[in-house]
């Protein structure tokens, strides 16, 4: 999934650093879960996983990937669906349900009305986040999932698994440069393809994992784990406005939206980690209050909290080690034509609590 700060490609590296430092345990708290890639990885390593994020779209992913351990059977729903032509002995129930959802005709619902050129043709600048047909497909799928939940024919995990399939799929068809804070004027070829809902793969660790949709700072008094993993925002960019459409698809709450991009209100979802002084204050609170053997802070050498201040803050509570590795990143220059390769350091601050 395209998501700022997604750790998917460096999980093995992070894990090998922890192994080299003999940092192991049985429980893991992913304090800024985002896509849940980190949670899933540690779940697959046998850890009991806790996770939290301030965004509801992340909560949906956490419910499906982290808390849930079972492949859904859709035992109440499937008998009522038309035959999807799959051999049910060899086809996963999730594949059958997704195939049915892919057969639905588009509906002119909230996403069509607010984020497609057809639905916004009366605006001075019509919004081109999705082609009309795909906006309508997102609405049709989202509405049907909600109807099934209301009718009681899918259980809670099945509901969140289907929502996660949709959240994961939308990025492949969005006419954006990476985030939803702006749409592109010209159509990206990816956005012109007919949207096809994709299935997701689940991990079973046989343990009772627990997830939260919260400002994680509100949870610190109750945290008691071996490994507490923090992967906060590195800069001033808030996540909520950058993923506002995925948040709306997840909640499907008909919000009032405004501005050129059709932004929902996110005043209750601002992160204190997007400002250096409040980030350091909160880092101090977590390190002081939460119970853990190791706190692992993933950060970036260009992050807004200065390295010496992070070390000074963490050192009050135990022994600190800084590990870092280089990785190459592409950064557009101002006119967006040439791309310059830029090297940054991914940093892991490891605090062993006294
Ligand atoms: C760098 S991203 C995490 C990426 C994640 N590790 C991954 O691999 O996808 C930071 C996340 O922190 C969340 N966030 C920021 N401040 C938060 C807070 N105070 N409480 C909970 N979540 C917060 C954002 O919504 C975002 O999903």
Give the pLDDT confidence score for residue 329 in this predicted structure.
65
For residue 233 and ligand 1, the question of a CB distance below 6 A is answered with yes
Select from 38, 271, 279, 290 the residue to mutate for testing ligand 1; criterion: most ligand atoms less than 8 Å from CB: 271
Closest CA to 48 of 205, 166, 228: 205
Give the per-residue pLDDT at 88.
Answer: 63
Beta bridge partners of 353: 318
Q: What is the number of the ligand 1 atom nearest to the C-alpha of 3?
A: 9
Integer CA distances (angstroms), 329 to 8, 42, 262, 289, in order = 15, 25, 30, 35
**Structure tokens that stand for 38 in this block:** 């980190």
**106 CB-near residues (< 8 Å, 6+ apart):** 112, 132, 133, 135, 136, 137, 139, 140
pLDDT at 341: 57
Rounded distance from Cα 36 to ligand 1 centre (Å): 10
Q: Is the CB of 298 under 6 A from ligand 1?
A: no
Q: How far apart are CA 44 and CA 52, in angstroms?
A: 18
Residue nearest to atom 12 of ligand 1 (CA): 32
Structure tokens at 34: 């985002």
Q: Is the CB of 296 under 6 A from ligand 1?
A: no
CA 187 to ligand 1 centroid distance, Å: 30
Supply 207's token pair: 């343990």
Among 10, 50, 54, the mutation site with the greatest number of ligand 1 atoms within 8 A of its Cβ is 54
The pLDDT of residue 125 is: 97
Q: Which atom of ligand 1 is nearest to the CA of 240?
A: 25
- Please choose, from the candidates 307, 296, 299, 287, the residue with its C-alpha nearest in 3D space to the C-alpha of residue 325: 299
55: closest CA among 167, 141, 208? 167
Q: For residue 249, give the nearest of 139, 324, 350 by alpha carbon.
A: 139
The CB of 175 under 6 Å from ligand 1? The reply is no
CA of 17 to the centre of ligand 1 (A): 22
Task: Give the residues of the chain that fall short of pLDDT 50.
Answer: 332-338
Q: Which atom of ligand 1 is nearest to the CA of 215?
A: 20
Write down the pLDDT at residue 343. Answer: 75
């Amino acid at each position: 999934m395209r998501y700022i700060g997604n750790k998917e490609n460096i999980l093995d590296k992070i894990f090998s650093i922890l192994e080299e430092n003999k940092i192991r345990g049985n429980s893991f708290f992913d304090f800024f879960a985002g896509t849940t890639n980190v949670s899933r990885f540690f779940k697959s390593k046998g850890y009991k996983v806790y996770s939290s994020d301030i965004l509801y779209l992340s909560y949906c992913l956490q419910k499906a990937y982290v808390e849930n351990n079972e492949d859904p059977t859709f035992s109440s729903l499937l008998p009522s669906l038309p035959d999807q032509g799959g051999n049910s002995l060899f086809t996963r129930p999730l594949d059958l349900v997704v195939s049915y959802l892919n057969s639905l005709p588009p509906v002119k619902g909230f996403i069509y009305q607010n984020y497609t050129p057809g639905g916004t043709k009366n605006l001075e600048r019509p919004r081109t986040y999705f082609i009309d047909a795909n906006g309508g497909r997102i609405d049709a799928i989202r509405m049907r999932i909600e109807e099934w939940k209301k009718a009681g024919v899918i259980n809670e995990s099945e509901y969140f698994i289907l929502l996660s399939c949709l959240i994961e799929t939308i990025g492949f068809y969005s006419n954006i440069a990476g985030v939803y804070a702006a749409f592109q004027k010209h159509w990206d070829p990816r956005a012109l393809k007919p949207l096809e809902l994709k299935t997701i793969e689940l991990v079973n660790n046989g343990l009772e994992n627990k997830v939260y949709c919260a400002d994680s700072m509100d949870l610190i008094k109750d945290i008691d784990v071996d490994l507490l993993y923090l992967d906060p925002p590195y800069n001033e960019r808030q996540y909520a406005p950058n993923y506002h459409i995925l948040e709306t698809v997840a909640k499907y709450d008909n919000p009032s939206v405004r501005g050129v991009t059709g932004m929902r209100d996110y005043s209750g979802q601002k992160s204190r980690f997007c400002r250096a002084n409040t980030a350091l204050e909160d880092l101090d609170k977590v390190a002081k209050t939460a119970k853990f053997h190791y706190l692992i802070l993933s950060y970036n050498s260009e992050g807004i909290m200065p390295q010496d201040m992070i070390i000074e803050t963490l050192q009050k509570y135990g022994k600190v080690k800084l590990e870092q590795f280089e990785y190459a990143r592409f950064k557009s220059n101002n006119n967006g034509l040439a791309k310059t390769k830029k090297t940054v350091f991914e940093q892991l601050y490891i605090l062993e609590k006294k």
